Structure 1
């Protein structure tokens, strides 16, 4: 963690703070403080001294102050530094530290890659930093044995603080507590009065001291040159082999943590942002860009809709803290004269279309599409900071630029809302004055370049992750852009007719529901539905909500639907209502008037496993197992003279499981082209292959797919509607017949617990922060993810590789076909009728060859006039 902090904050002074041995002033105030904490385990105690030695050998100042806690030392340093306008980052996961946050103090949790500024404190706790101490005082803290106010939990504390203000304000207005709207408000005033002494004692205990007598001021903290010899001995002794190798490869006089004097004397660097309004300035910058090894590029536009957006201006950066913005279309009253959009884009076109000129951007897929609206094909897309962050850690925070800047650069950026406003009155970029627009746009390019330099350095240290970025994610960017811009042809009339039929069916279902209930009620209201199901009809309560009310969630209705008619009817109603609102009503409204097609947005940096997701419309969730869902797919049609070709991988995750586990039984089934579910049924139920019944095959299918998702005996029993003991016997027999699978699952759980992540076949990582959680449910959920993620992630990597290969092949051969959709393990194409046979055959081959597994990758393709026919 310390090494990563040094990399993340180069040339920044860093102090490492530890608790001193012995009592603190809080023990004198309250002898029971932390009294219930168990002593430090001996295994951990032995590790403290070598950690101290390594930190000192690294040249990092280490502070251990008697009589106070480490928090107080950190608080004092942070307060003194921020009072002088020095930016402070506190690396911690401790919620108590949120009380220190202000405009100059930020918290960063390097375990989760999360950053907490003032806004994030409000988002997380519901109150600003100046009320955190009051929050802790009211709730108390079992870990530290701070008493708090008896009967006050998180929600009550929050309601009191949001309703009345600080602890002092609450006690000055005890008569108003009963007017607040939280549960128990009527009696809370009396409880607060009774526990007043505990509340103010707790406030004192929870307050981090900001006036500790320190041996050094913030300005006096400086890094020293590391003691290479001591580090080598310590790293060798600890068997930190890669760090030893790293030390041995460094020149002995080259300090790895940076020059101490430079760090101590570092001053904020002035940003050099320019607004280009003259042709000579533009020419000068174009020359800079042409000579740059890589430059950051960004567009400012009129819309987030990539099919409609027009360029308002462009920005670029070639070195940190230096950037330029070229406005072209700011048209507010009094806007200065600008270079014309046509002139600027013509000047930039050769550079933007040069595949040899490397560019970096943040979500360049969007910029590529916007430039395509102006007849420019962006090439040389070498790096994308959104994808660099995503490949580095897909389970961390969001991968938008503002979040990344806070996380990796400790930089607070200008937010779009800061200059454009919010809601209905929000301005489009062309309406924003240049005095505000130019710094914002230039900063986008500047921050993007700095992010790239930081993130790329991390990826270079992990060759397998770098390969995922270079061979999977980046080649996919132009492919997805082309697929999005191609869009899918929709038969609006067919959807309109379907919508009317659904409306009639929903009306019938509603009437049937009223008849069963004996009264009318709102089918969409959980409260009214709960009253009908559990009070009037007396159906069994299976699960409750957090507030204690009987749950009417989907899984509850599914279980009740096995025995009762109304829940079954409600499930059908919900399903049809969702199809109508999401697809049959909405899709016709989403047809682009210029293209006559629907254009989705594919997202590369959303799911943890590497799968693509889509939105506006979401094409990944159109049901295929129901007749109504298939009817929606029938509305995705081929234009005249073309056919829809749909090709998907057969049982890809099971095949990946066979490859990863190396289980002989599974390998044999796939290599001999057997029906794997039938083969599993024969093994589990101990019958000949030809004697397997449909029910046995169905059960075996549930086992095959259930186990790769880490399903327990309880889950399998629920799915097959059998006893838990029977389900456990099925699973035991499965593992007896497929011991390689059992071993793989044991190994992956063990390795995940050690490393904190799992990997796909190609090296993509999925981090599992809860894999060693003390909470059993969270740990088991992480273990289930650990089993499935390598398979789901590998499948995602394979389909991405296939998309790139198919797209490139179609373009290189100049074939009359194009990819129009990607849905899970399926590619959907429009193909000219006279080329269907040749393209279908080669398509299946290219998809099969996207990865080399120890079992065949089977691809099945269909052809039709619409998507449903082709699937």
Structure 2
């Protein structure tokens, strides 16, 4: 007898993932449809992949379950469902049924328990069970007849794969989850025990019971935390165990027989009406054209205009792929001829390091047509490896094409690959597209990895790096990956990059603002940022060593002072001991609690307590110095590249939704400047002999942008006349002449100016100024009376953001606000504040990038030796030969001030020069 298959879809897991994975899609009448679209696409994909005889899409019902009776705090910390998602629940249930799926929601029983019960019964009656989910908890159900799949990551978990992924077999997943706990469901585990420790203990002691029995012998903080949790663990185990014997007879006809779960034919008429109602035009056309057959599993993509469903990309995820391994000169020459003839070539490198400054090429993949690619292995090394072409010969053959700007090239994160080729002595020219940046400009609030893009826009998924190299301690270098496997992985990368580009590029071309941002800001920034990264900055290790010593001495003094206040010694790095001192011994008021119910000692709590008590202030200062010491004064000397003698940060473009750059390894954006100790770190960023550091910083950039966008006459006048804008504001708010404004009144005005930009209300202003809330309210009302244009801008911007779902910068960058019409109250209020601030912060980010591009072009045009070495917030930092200082002082700020002639207020860049970064301010 043929074995039947039961497909169980964890609908509650997928509807959240669909909602967060897709952009803010809307029907023609403005109804949110992103989660609906994602659910339909995933269900189609699951049916296509599994082809079951029986199936069910299982959702959580409203209300509490039996677990709330066991533990009233169960899921107590979970945020309410976003309003836009909640509105889509009923339509999702409707369309799932129209697609022929049985829908199951059992009051009082979680979806996991219904799935567990059905899986157990189906396995006992000879079915193969496939559970489609992204929930790790369900891994406990896996056995010889039950397998998990994840249609969003193409992951398949049988018993061996569960063991490989989690480090424990399926029958020990409950023990594993009990030790770790579940913060999402508010189920405490053993404090500070994560996946590695949980798996290690289970491997060592056999089971949770074995761990409990050995608790007295487990040393260190982990052992101490385990012993504290012993009384809780039985309840924790009960809460994380999926129940497999629920009574579903009221909800499934004929239960425990599964006949009621047979898939039904698609309700073609109902589905056509549903697609028309919600604006899924291409799915409707497909269904009409196929005479009743459901559309195939197709891509989910960002629409050119909200309200239409995304076009289905071709070929589909099932199109055959052909990836060739290039091992002969004849193959290489054939592919070189293809890329010379191609209008656009996707290229990707495989390397031996994630550090772009030192990475060496292991292999190169190329694609000129979707579904086809070549992989050229250059440095694979393992037993039995096939003979590869000589790396130097291959690179020499590719160099004329790589360095020819007339041959258009495409990549995913091209800045990294450009560095890699530079390391090999090749300067790549002709990069015209980057799918990472296309995604970033179109949907900055979504993930931009190639895996995410292919899944979201193409319905395609492929091998992950961990699939081919393993993970953790067992991960191998890419050079040891079997060449056939490497061909599949790397070929897929370049192929999917080309495929994603063919989907995203037409959407960008249809949007004037985002197209300008992509072509004139983001793409040109790549080469400039690459230049800055390679230039690096010189560090004086001796200065940092002295600062580290001084910080250590100050931290020891603070520790002594803290012990004296507490009346006993304690570990200033231990939240537990801090909590015992503050709230136990000293009886300070508890401001908030952690998920496990213990009083919080986080920075926000300490800052609040520090206003009234001395010990929290000492602890805060100690934490700040420890962070400064560990992150910068101790660490920076270790990050100097031995080949260059310099520190080379990495600037990430596709991170902040506003367009701001992110700096990492080291993070130069986060060097604290509010404390003397933090500012002094900049003393270690020095110029080499015969040079100086020049800093050019946009002055009051966001206030100038506010003046331009709001067109407020008072602000425009203040900037046009070169007035002190904070003094001018104080003059208006306090009703006095500018020359009568005191320093205290100017400080108030400055706080109001910057606070309102960030959407600060009366409560926040009162807290910042240390005044009564009624006084803060009066100041804000007076400000808006005097600067009515600012109030109008704020009101109109919030209304526009609610209507569109996004705001725009001066140059057309779109900043999406998913919570502006959904989410809970605080999240919606946060989105409204962001709607006010984001156009200014985003415009400032655009301006500094345009300045960076223009100044670098000027340096090259005039063949200057001055180097741009850092970009930090609204500041550009240069290393300038002494002979060019006079020129740079005048030319750099002039170029920066001229990048936005359309602005109604003048831009001003202030310049400082010194032997180090600190003195250049």
- Taking structure 2 as the reference length, the TM-score comes to 0.74
Counterparts of 1:536 and 1:547, CA distance in 2: 21
SS at match of 2:265: coil
1:154 equivalent in structure 2:
185
**Uncovered stretches (5+) of structure 1, i.e. residues with no partner:** 18-24, 35-40, 109-114, 135-151, 165-172, 247-253
Counterparts of 1:32 and 1:558, CA distance in 2: 38
1:702 equivalent in structure 2:
751
2:308 equivalent in structure 1:
none
SS at match of 1:297: strand
Counterparts of 2:237 and 2:853, CA distance in 1: 68
Counterparts of 2:62 and 2:915, CA distance in 1: 79
- Give the drift of 1:665: 1.4
Relative to 1, partners in 2 of residues 1:288 and 1:189: Cα closer, same or farther, differing over 3 Å?
Answer: closer
State how 1:64-79 maps to structure 2 within 5 Å: none
Relative to 1, partners in 2 of residues 1:509 and 1:68: Cα closer, same or farther, differing over 3 Å?
Answer: closer
Relative to 1, partners in 2 of residues 1:849 and 1:61: Cα closer, same or farther, differing over 3 Å?
Answer: farther
SS at match of 2:919: helix
SS at match of 1:563: coil
> Structure 1 residue 856 and structure 2 residue 906: aligned?
yes
Check conservation: 2:711, 2:789, Cα contact below 8 A.
yes
Relative to 1, partners in 2 of residues 1:214 and 1:328: Cα closer, same or farther, differing over 3 Å?
Answer: closer
State how 1:716-795 maps to structure 2 within 5 Å: 716-773=765-822, 775-795=824-844
> Structure 1 residue 868 and structure 2 residue 918: aligned?
yes
Residue of structure 2 aligned with 1:607, choices 647, 651, 656: 656
1:803 equivalent in structure 2:
852
State how 1:562-573 maps to structure 2 within 5 Å: 562-573=611-622
1:341 equivalent in structure 2:
391
2:685 equivalent in structure 1:
636
TM-superposition CA deviations, 1:617-660 (whole Å, max 9, x none): 00001122322122210111111111111101111111111111
2:503 equivalent in structure 1:
454
TM-superposition CA deviations, 1:51-87 (whole Å, max 9, x none): 99xx9xxxx995579998899xxx9xxx99xx99999
**Uncovered stretches (5+) of structure 2, i.e. residues with no partner:** 1-24, 28-32, 48-55, 66-82, 175-182, 199-206, 214-225, 298-315
Residue of structure 2 aligned with 1:683, choices 732, 750, 755: 732
- Give the drift of 1:698: 0.9
Check conservation: 1:177, 1:185, Cα contact below 8 A.
no
1:372 equivalent in structure 2:
422
State how 1:342-491 maps to structure 2 within 5 Å: 342-397=392-447, 399-491=448-540
State how 1:522-601 maps to structure 2 within 5 Å: 522-601=571-650
1:137 equivalent in structure 2:
none
Relative to 1, partners in 2 of residues 1:733 and 1:409: Cα closer, same or farther, differing over 3 Å?
Answer: same
2:16 equivalent in structure 1:
none
Counterparts of 1:349 and 1:13, CA distance in 2: 46
Counterparts of 2:590 and 2:863, CA distance in 1: 62
Check conservation: 1:717, 1:727, Cα contact below 8 A.
yes
Residue of structure 2 aligned with 1:281, choices 312, 331, 335: 331
Counterparts of 1:285 and 1:174, CA distance in 2: 57
Relative to 1, partners in 2 of residues 1:103 and 1:300: Cα closer, same or farther, differing over 3 Å?
Answer: farther
Check conservation: 1:12, 1:263, Cα contact below 8 A.
no
1:621 equivalent in structure 2:
670
State how 1:10-21 maps to structure 2 within 5 Å: none
TM-superposition CA deviations, 1:647-705 (whole Å, max 9, x none): 01111111111111111111111111111111111122222211111111111111111
Count residues in correspondence.
785
Residue of structure 2 aligned with 1:316, choices 366, 375, 380: 366
Check conservation: 2:696, 2:876, Cα contact below 8 A.
yes
SS at match of 2:595: coil
2:545 equivalent in structure 1:
496
Check conservation: 1:177, 1:188, Cα contact below 8 A.
no
Check conservation: 2:610, 2:616, Cα contact below 8 A.
yes
SS at match of 2:495: helix
Check conservation: 2:343, 2:408, Cα contact below 8 A.
yes
Relative to 1, partners in 2 of residues 1:118 and 1:714: Cα closer, same or farther, differing over 3 Å?
Answer: farther
State how 1:210-229 maps to structure 2 within 5 Å: 211-212=260-261, 214-216=263-265
What RMSD, in angstroms, separates the aligned Cα atoms of the two structures? 5.2
Residue of structure 2 aligned with 1:823, choices 872, 890, 893: 872
Counterparts of 1:378 and 1:788, CA distance in 2: 38
- Give the drift of 1:388: 1.2
Counterparts of 1:425 and 1:33, CA distance in 2: 43
SS at match of 1:306: coil
Counterparts of 1:538 and 1:157, CA distance in 2: 26
Residue of structure 1 aligned with 2:891, choices 830, 842, 846: 842
Counterparts of 2:554 and 2:349, CA distance in 1: 48
SS at match of 1:647: strand
- Taking structure 1 as the reference length, the TM-score comes to 0.78
Relative to 1, partners in 2 of residues 1:548 and 1:476: Cα closer, same or farther, differing over 3 Å?
Answer: same
Counterparts of 2:37 and 2:896, CA distance in 1: 40
SS at match of 1:634: helix
SS at match of 1:549: coil
